A and B are shown apart, each in its own frame.
Chain A
């Protein structure tokens, strides 16, 4: 978990690959507070005590998968309003449709984006979400 100034927004990164999670956290930490979870269960545990401003969610996770995490996040009134970006290496049309149907704001394929592009996307979704509120 990275420490950052209090006024910054917080992003929960749910990613089982530690290298990817770490690289992303390095880039994100310049603009956001970051929380990291390596499994779906760990992510849900974090959400019991914290309310991040956005969740970056992988799908293929040990234990419960990202779709199930997303379903539970959207089912819980406390977390239902948190925007979720799915950042996965799955990218079939069916996966994208399922993600959208479960309430994900965006579905992006990890390998096609660079960390800077992920940060820009998170910023734009956060801005959109603030605007919607």
Chain B
């Protein structure tokens, strides 16, 4: 499986990273070399192996249903580059 320009464009879109000719070319090169590198995993037969998604061997911690107010609106909005008193502001979304 190898990556071509069309795939790079599609992945860029999915990742919301703007792409141009230069970026696409460098990505094609780099991503293909990484993919080639990881392809060696196919040497292993894992058809009977359970995938491992966590190394933690304990029960999922569950918290009580208690309302906690930890921060104020201004704390949450504080770091936003574009905001008003009440909301985060973003360029218009047209559905």
Q: Do A and B come from one complex?
A: no
